[in-house]
Structure 1
């Protein structure tokens, strides 16, 4: 029974080594080649060993950068996702539509009609935790009777915010 346990442990170790080798053979080979080349270079000072040192060092650095970008606290991918999930701020295009037509809301879906009005656009960061109307400054133009504020998001969807007389 003792020999069976020893054989079982040997088989398990071989399986784990095979799994590790199949997943990390390139990195492991590059590290062995790099350290072997550096050791031999220290013994012989042969210029022939520069090429294996540079190539294997390059492979090791590429794996290190890949690992850093995937597992770092400050990786750009994960931090951008966290910022988008945790942040209540979003960038919108603010449209100020100036018109003298009191029926603007009824016809604003018509693209030709919409573009015939006086429209000012600006990009603005909006905080969803605060009142959106108060974050968009009303700018009066005396030649127009009405001002409508619309928000357009990144998907080009428009949201009606307010009407000013």
Structure 2
């Protein structure tokens, strides 16, 4: 019974090694060639080993960069992409429009009128699972009677959030 278990472990190990070798034979070979050619260059100082070191080193670096970009542990793009899909956070530009005009909402679509008002912009990450109004701090300016909060997303679409008197 023990002999059968040992044989089964051997066959599993051999199968795993063959699978690993068939998937990664090029970077393993390039790494071995790089090490051997560097050692032989140190012994002989022959220019013959320059192309071997360059090509094998290039292959090793390319596979390392490919592995790094595919691995979710190292890839910042993939991690942030997954984080945005799994969470409800999104980056917006918060516009605080200060004005003394009580009819701002009626005329705010007019670009000239909008730019004639006092506008402060800030980038902020908003959680859609929480109340949006509570995530944007109201900053009072005594010289203005009204403050309007607007959100602008990445597509430059604006959303009215609140009015403060």
Same fold per superposition (TM over 0.5):
yes
Alpha-carbon separation, structure 2, partners of 1:122 and 1:59: 45
Please state how far the C-alpha of 1:24 moved relative to its aligned partner.
Answer: 8.7
Shift of 1:72: 4.3
1:33 deviates by: 8.2
Q: State how 1:28-107 maps to structure 2 within 5 Å.
A: 31=30, 34=33, 38=37, 41=40, 45=44, 47=46, 48-107=48-107
Structure 2 portions without partners, runs of 5+: 1-21
1:135 aligns with: 135
In the superposition, relative to structure 1, how do residues 36 and 117 fare at CA in structure 2: closer, same or farther (>3 Å)? closer
- For 1:100 and 1:131, locate their aligned partners in 2 and report how far apart those are by CA, in whole Å: 27
Q: CA deviation at 1:83?
A: 1.6
Q: Figure out how many residues of one structure are paired with residues of the other and give that number.
A: 142
In 1, distance between residues paired with 2:86 and 2:135? 20
Q: How far is 1:71 from its partner? A: 3.5
Q: Structure 2 length normalisation: TM-score? A: 0.70
1:77 match: secondary structure = helix
- What TM-score comes out, normalization by structure 1 length? 0.70
Deviation string, structure 1 residues 54-104 (Cα, Å, up to 9, x no partner): 321221221232133224433223212112212322222111111121111
The SS at the match of 1:129 is: coil
CA distance in 2 between counterparts of 1:28 and 1:126 reads 44
Segment drifting more, 45-54 vs 135-144: 45-54
- What secondary structure does 1:142 align onto? coil
Distance 2:35 2:144 in 1: 80
State the 1:130 CA deviation.
Answer: 1.1
- Separation in structure 2 between the aligned mates of residue 81 and residue 154 of structure 1, nearest angstrom: 15
- The aligned counterpart of 1:114 is 114
